[in-house]
């Protein structure tokens, strides 16, 4: 049994998503592609050996779900048409351009009993994926996401382009509502924020510090988690995780190396390294979408998750705007 998938938007990401559905043999069939630019659609069709739909609506009779990789400003319009036609959707991040649009889509999907999956791809990062078997109760999180400037994505602020990934990861780990957000940021070479720093305090007392920049000479994606008797350092670029935790001094150690003693509490420090697991994150998030269609299986990143990340991002942007008014 296979799910027929259509791709709406044939830019860089759209072409990559199309390729993934040619690789998901046995469960997915790339039904065709659509783009407002006929040349872009033709290129994607040529690369993947699939048909072209001249209009978005032409796709609906031939697909069981739609991957939406159009420009952010068009997410709402395209996704709404798909949902109204009874088609589950995978929407690249951010879910929509505004919170109001995202909330309307989530409510529409719930009313129709349809799936919205949001492309927060870092949830599938090999380093982050290895946390699923660990008990994570963060007290403090520090995230750095730095990248050289790339015109692709520069139509939105660095908060919506890069930081939203870490906002989503943090919200998935901290099981508490946000209490306060303090944010600062500046525009350097675009008309929107190019570098931002944010401090988030949650109602359960957890704190997160985030920095995102698209003005860096080198790429960095580091994510550090501090909690009671455990420290985790994730290199999201390398897909690895270094873990330090406390164990009873006399307990045997499996899967780690004792690196120090805390005699005054009769404990020892244990170090464990989780090496990279070979995961094609883009392939796996598309597999998640297909399996949700075929088996009515929950997706890892729901429409509501995408909405929460966007709400946090908009709060960050509002904080930056208020801070800049005083300059």
Q: What pLDDT digit, counting tens, does each position of 213-261 carry?
A: 999 999 999 999 999 999 999 999 999 999 999 988 888 887 788 888 8
CATH of domain 3-120+281-300: 3.40.50.720
| CA–CA gap between residue 230 and residue 245 (Å, rounded) | 4
Fold designation for 123-277+313-325: Dihydrodipicolinate Reductase; domain 2 (3.30.360)
Residue 324 has pLDDT above 80, yes or no: no
pLDDT in tens, 153-182: 677 899 999 999 999 999 999 999 999 999
Domain spans, the chain: 3-120+281-300, 123-277+313-325
Q: What is the pLDDT of residue 277?
A: 84
Beta bridge partners of 92: 119
| Mean pLDDT along residues 77-88 | 98
Q: CA-CA distance, 127 to 269, in Å (whole number)?
A: 21
What is the model's pLDDT at position 326? 54
Q: What are the backbone dihedrals phi and psi of residue 185, each rounded to the nearest 5 degrees, phi first?
A: -175, 160
pTM: 0.93
Cis preceding-peptide flag for 39 (omega within 30 of 0): no
Tens-place pLDDT, residues 96-142: 999 999 999 999 999 999 999 999 999 999 999 888 888 899 999 99
Phi, psi of 221, rounded to the nearest 5 degrees:
-140, 90
Phi/psi for 134 (5° steps) reads -110, 155
Instruction: Output DSSP code: residue 139.
Output: S
Question: How many CB atoms lie under 10 A from the CB of residue 141?
Answer: 23
Mean pLDDT of the chain: 94
Tally the residues of the chain.
Answer: 327
């Amino acid at each position: 049994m296979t799910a027929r998938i259509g791709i709406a938007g044939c830019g860089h990401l759209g072409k990559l998503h199309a390729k993934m559905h040619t690789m998901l043999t046995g469960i997915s069939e790339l039904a065709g592609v659509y783009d407002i630019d006929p040349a872009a659609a033709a290129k994607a069709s040529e690369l993947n050996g699939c048909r072209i739909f001249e209009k978005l609506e032409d796709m609906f009779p031939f697909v069981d779900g739609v991957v939406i990789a159009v420009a952010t400003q068009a997410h709402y319009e395209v996704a709404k048409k798909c949902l109204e036609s009874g088609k589950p959707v995978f929407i690249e991040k951010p879910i929509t351009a505004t919170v109001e649009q995202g909330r309307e889509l989530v409510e529409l999907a719930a009313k129709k009993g349809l799936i919205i999956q949001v492309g927060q791809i870092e949830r599938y990062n090999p380093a982050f994926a290895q946390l699923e078997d660990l008990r994570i109760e963060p007290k403090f999180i520090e995230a750095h996401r730095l990248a050289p400037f790339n015109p692709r994505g520069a139509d939105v602020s660095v908060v919506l382009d890069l930081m939203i990934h870490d906002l989503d990861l943090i919200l998935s780990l901290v099981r508490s509502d946000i209490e306060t957000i303090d944010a600062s940021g500046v525009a350097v070479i675009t008309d929107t924020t190019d570098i931002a720093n944010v401090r988030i305090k949650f109602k359960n007392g957890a704190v997160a510090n985030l920095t995102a920049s698209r003005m860096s000479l080198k790429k960095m994606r580091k994510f550090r988690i501090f909690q009671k008797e455990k420290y985790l350092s994730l290199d999201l670029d390398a897909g690895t995780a270094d873990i330090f935790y406390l164990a009873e001094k006399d307990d045997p150690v499996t899967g780690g190396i004792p690196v120090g003693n805390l005699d005054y509490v009769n404990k020892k420090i244990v170090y464990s390294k989780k090496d990279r697991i070979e995961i094609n994150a883009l392939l796996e998030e598309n597999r998640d979408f297909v399996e949700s269609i075929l088996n009515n299986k929950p997706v890892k990143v729901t429409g509501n998750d995408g909405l929460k990340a966007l709400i946090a991002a908009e709060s960050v942007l509002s904080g930056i705007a208020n801070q800049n008014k005083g300059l």
